[in-house]
Structure 1
Amino acid sequence: MQKQQFEHFAPVIRALTAAELNGAPSLNEKLLVARESNLDVCYAPFEYVNPTARVVIVGITPGRTQMLNAIKEARRQLDKGANSFEALKAAKQTGAFSGAMRPNLVGMLNGIGLNRWLGIASCDALFGPSAHLVQTASVLRNPVFVGGGNYNGTPNMTKHPLLQQHLLTHFGEDVKALSEAVFIPLGNKVAEAMHFLAERGLLNPDRILDGLPHPSGANAERIAYFLGKKNRDALSSKTNPEKLDKAKSLIIGRVLALA
């Protein structure tokens, strides 16, 4: 686990004002890691890696809400005298895939049989008693903001020099510590970044279980079809059932092959 960034930024986190802990504009300046044009990369305490994880759920980059929650938790831990490891672990686990996104994610993970491979009744346990089996991660570990807003995949991280460097340096390092885990990318742009790493020999492509619809509520129809809760003839023109059927068949086959 890389702790150098945390040890550099811990004094900064300890000194943040109440307004900055709630997202005041000066927060980005104090936690700035890199800037290029209208793109800012800011530090957030997400270095913790769970060495016992068998599955890694991978998003694109922490959003501002995740960043603030993690910083507040790290500050709380530091204020009570926690060491770096304890502070980073607590910050990482705060709010992982909370809210409406979690039931969608759990339903799809169960739908592809991941719970059976892990030996648990439901993947909902990954966010409770079976948390030791999961690692949550982002291909861009530090929050990225474009024009002040959350990064959504543009510019392309596999082609943009600064973002590519962060992808290879940080997530590439995390991957080495999770060599026995399987990786579930959330969204096409995350999957593209992971295959980019696989092409460079940093990740076994057989461990990438891509094809799940993103668990966001914006994908409600695609998720419902993927889970068999909506019939093909009831789908809108925005949903491609053939593509979803193919993706589901492939990912189920990969999970079965793990056993």
Structure 2
Amino acid sequence: MSLETFSELIAAAPHDFSKLPEELLLSSEGSLQTFYAPFDHVNAEAKIVICGITPGLQQASRALEKARQKLLLGASIAEAKKAAKETASFAGPMRANLINMLDHIGVHRLLDIDSNARLFDTHTHLVHYTSALRYPVFVDGKNYSGSPAMLSRASLRHQVETHLADEISALGPHCLIVPLGPKVSEVFQHLQAKGLVKPEQLLDGLPHPSGANAERISYFLGAKARENLSSKTNAVTLDIAKEQILAKLATLQTG
């Protein structure tokens, strides 16, 4: 499925997409429902991939609204896809946390930009935003957050092994990949075992940029001391991940 399939429906939709139309339902599997939203665009020239779990309702609604606007203005399907993807990807508070962490580890220097904030405005050509599950998934009507495991359900595994695998193949072996959170890292380890990803491509181990991870993010950024952490934050795990990320980046900068 793609925007070509649903373009007439989306352009004619009379509402604000605060609720996804049943006509966009792609699959149901027990309590899981997967809906179409225009996240089809792949920036094959990207130097870095930022990968979340799946678009949530807010992101899906924004993407659908932007696609509708573009289509009604006479834009091509390709133009509508691109605009929808760039408008909705990692929108909201997550974006600021993500930028701060990527700046902290120095990814912007490798990309020759002053800040990773440019990946969301003037230098979007350098980045491909995506999700392990391309299309929004809901569990009992609520945003999917990684449970049940993506590789444990047929409808979810299908998205990983078709859409995500195709995207990663199109981007090539030199594109950096930033998986957001351990559940997404597990998916890329699965693709790595299939020979689709090289270990040096993966900058895994960053805390997920969700506001719920505020303490882990603060520690990763050096803004909170280890002795002030709650028992919920594993400083050792974060330290090891950060050390490995910095080592990979150092190798890439000198390579």
Q: TM-score, normalised by structure 2?
A: 0.94
Matches for 1:152-163 after TM superposition, within 5 Å: 152-163=145-156
Q: Which residue of 2 aligns with 1:169?
A: 162
Confirm whether residue 178 of structure 1 aligns to residue 175 of structure 2: no
Displacement of 1:242 after TM fit? 1.3
Gaps of 5+ in 2: none
Matches for 1:1-259 after TM superposition, within 5 Å: 5-18=2-15, 21-24=16-19, 27-179=20-172, 180-259=174-253
Displacement of 1:14 after TM fit? 2.0
Supply the distance in 1 between the matched residues of 2:197 and 2:239 (Cα, whole angstroms): 26
- Between the two proteins, what is the percent identity of the paired residues? 47
Supply the distance in 1 between the matched residues of 2:30 and 2:132 (Cα, whole angstroms): 21
Supply the distance in 2 between the matched residues of 1:14 and 1:104 (Cα, whole angstroms): 33
Supply the distance in 1 between the matched residues of 2:160 and 2:9 (Cα, whole angstroms): 24
Q: Over aligned residue pairs, what C-alpha RMSD do you find?
A: 1.3
Give the paired residue count: 252
Supply the distance in 1 between the matched residues of 2:160 and 2:39 (Cα, whole angstroms): 14
Cα deviation 1:36-79 (Å, max 9, x = unaligned): 22211110111111122111110000000111110111111111
Q: TM-score, normalised by structure 1?
A: 0.93
Supply the distance in 2 between the matched residues of 1:171 and 1:68 (Cα, whole angstroms): 21
- Range moving further from structure 2, 195-204 or 39-48: 195-204
Supply the distance in 1 between the matched residues of 2:94 and 2:110 (Cα, whole angstroms): 22
Cα deviation 1:59-116 (Å, max 9, x = unaligned): 0000001111101111111111111110100110113323322222111111212111
Supply the distance in 2 between the matched residues of 1:14 and 1:120 (Cα, whole angstroms): 37
Supply the distance in 2 between the matched residues of 1:29 and 1:96 (Cα, whole angstroms): 23
Supply the distance in 1 between the matched residues of 2:46 and 2:78 (Cα, whole angstroms): 17
Show structure 1 runs of 4+ deviating over 4 A.
Answer: none
Which secondary structure state, in structure 1, belongs to the residue aligned with residue 200 of structure 2? helix
- Range moving further from structure 2, 37-46 or 91-100: 91-100
Supply the distance in 2 between the matched residues of 1:220 and 1:23 (Cα, whole angstroms): 27
Displacement of 1:121 after TM fit? 1.6
Displacement of 1:12 after TM fit? 1.6
